[in-house]
Chains A and B, each alone.
Chain A
Amino acid sequence: MQNGPSTIELLAAVRAFVEDHAMPELEGHAAFHARVAANTLAIIERELEQGPAAAANERARLMALLNAKGSLEALNRQLAEALRSGDMDLETPGLREHLLATTIDKVSIDQPSYSGLKSAFQARR
Chain B
Amino acid sequence: MTADGLEKCLGNLAARLWGAEGVSNLTRLSGGASQESWDFVVGDERYVLRRAPGGQSTPRTGTAVPLATEAAVIARARALGVVAPEVVYVLNEADGMGPGYIMRFEDGETIARKILRDEAYAKARPKLARQCGEALALIHKIDASGIEGLPELTAANQLDLYFDLYVGFDEPRPVFELAFRWLKERPPESEKTTLVHGDFRNGNLMVVPDGLSAVLDWELCHLGDSMEDLGWICVNSWRFGQSENPVGGFGSYGDLFSGYEAAGGGSVDPALVKYWEVFGTLKWGIMCMLMVSAFQSGADRSVERAAIGRRSSETEIDLLNLIAKD
Contact = CB atoms under 8 A, between A and B. Distances in A.
B175 A84 contact: no
A107 to B, nearest CB: 5
A8 interface: no
A80 B177 contact: yes
A42 to B, nearest CB: 10
Interface size bucket, A side?
A: 35 or more
Q: Chain B: interface secondary structure?
A: helix
Given A33-B302, A120-B320, A107 B174 contact: no
Interface stretch (B58-66, B80-88, B188-196, B305-313): B305-313
B241 interface: yes
Nearest to B304: A36
Given A106-B313, A110-B313, A79 B307 contact: no
A37 B178 CA distance: 32
Interface residues of B, number: 31
A119 B316 contact: no
Q: Chain A: interface secondary structure?
A: helix
A111 B314 contact: yes
Interface of B: 30, 172-175, 177-178, 180-181, 236, 239, 241-243, 302-304, 306-307, 310-311, 313-314, 316-318, 320-321, 323-325
Interface of A: 28-29, 32-33, 36-37, 39-40, 43, 73, 76-77, 79-80, 83-84, 86, 89-90, 96, 99-100, 102-104, 106-107, 110-111, 113-120, 123
